[in-house]
Amino acid sequence: MSSLPLTGITVVSCEHAVAAPFATRQLADLGARVIKVERPGRGDFARDYDETVRGLSSHFVWLNRSKESIALDLKQPHGKEVMRRLVAEADVFVQNLGPGAAERLGLGSAELRARHPRLITCSISGYGSSGPYRDAKAYDLLIQAEAGLVSVTGSADAPAKSGIPAADIGAGMYAFSGILSALYEREKTGAGTSLEISLFDSLVEWMGYPLYYAAYGGTPPARTGTSHAAIAPYGTFAAKDGTEIVLAVQNEREWRSFCEQVLERPELTADARFVTGSRRVTNRGELESEIAAVLGHITGDELEQRLAAGNIAHARQREVREVIEHPQLVSRNRLTTVDSPMGKLTAILPAITVPGRKPRMDPIPAVGEHTSAIVKELGFGADIQQLTRTQAGF
């Protein structure tokens, strides 16, 4: 079996919460060795978000497989010395510490790059390294609010945050792709680089469509639940047995087919209220009433058969618990297991598939599980090994 693309790359990460761990887990999935530096004792505070996965945090289980955990007190001389040697051996250093914390610990990008020109550093922050919000608290919900995502999410009656940590995930993915580009550049130039990623910048980029819509249209996109501010019919509709189906009729060909094949009311294509996309949006309430009158007499299975016959884009609106048994996941063998301090857990394979190469699904580490082995590997004697074991609570 061939090695994965990032085999041989070592990543050292002072990380916690979601954004940085999400980025480094993608690197680990592709074969990189990721050494996660945690605080002695409880470690990454995301370990304590909940206890739903057999006593483990659902966030931590999601974000931290295939990593090695070393517990270090970076304010103590021995911790600093271990960290110094770790970084000297690394290809990539990632951190999402609080504003200015990396610099105070001697782990600022400028200082590290001066000592290690081939090192790639990636700093993830809430709002960036400058500006009036530099030192502001930057939890995911707060970033969603400041970037306007909350204002365009939810129903007409009330805004809502996204159901997943969108700002954290966005920043993590930009960090991941930025690190990949820096590794590629280093292959050509021999030099590393410094990367800065902020949750705010990442989410503002994702807000491109509503920002342009508001700036040039004069008003922001309306909050429409699962519907769409500029397309109709679009959103969730219920069949008579309660099955919820999401429709996405996005062009005139589909609209004609929808009327003929699904509603069995071809005359609606000539109805002045619905004759164009913009008129269907303007008369959304009347349109949805016409659709509901038909769907209220057919089952979910019948509706899906008609939608398939008409080649209409659609999906089932599934509950989260249904997704783990989704037929697409099951048929493609996308489910596997991963080891953890609490035994084997169900896991989804990495989204990036490298044909012919076995996906990496190494265990989720306990706090400081690899401290002794890593310290010994770095060439330290028994004295500092004992100090790190004491600090890690072993």
Which positions are catalytic? 228
Tokens at residue 224, please? 């429409």
Are 31 and 61 within 8 A, CB to CB? no
CA atoms within 13 A on the CB side of 338: 25
Q: Which backbone phi and psi does 343 adopt, to 5 degrees? A: 100, -170
**CB 93 within 8 Å of CB 389:** no
> Dihedral (C-alpha) 377, 383, 389, 394: value to the nearest 10 degrees?
130
Q: Are 26 and 360 in contact (CB under 8 A)?
A: no
Structure tokens at 309: 């016959």
Closest CA to 62 of 37, 35, 44: 44
C-alpha dist (Å) from residue 28 to 61, 67, 75, 312: 14, 7, 27, 39
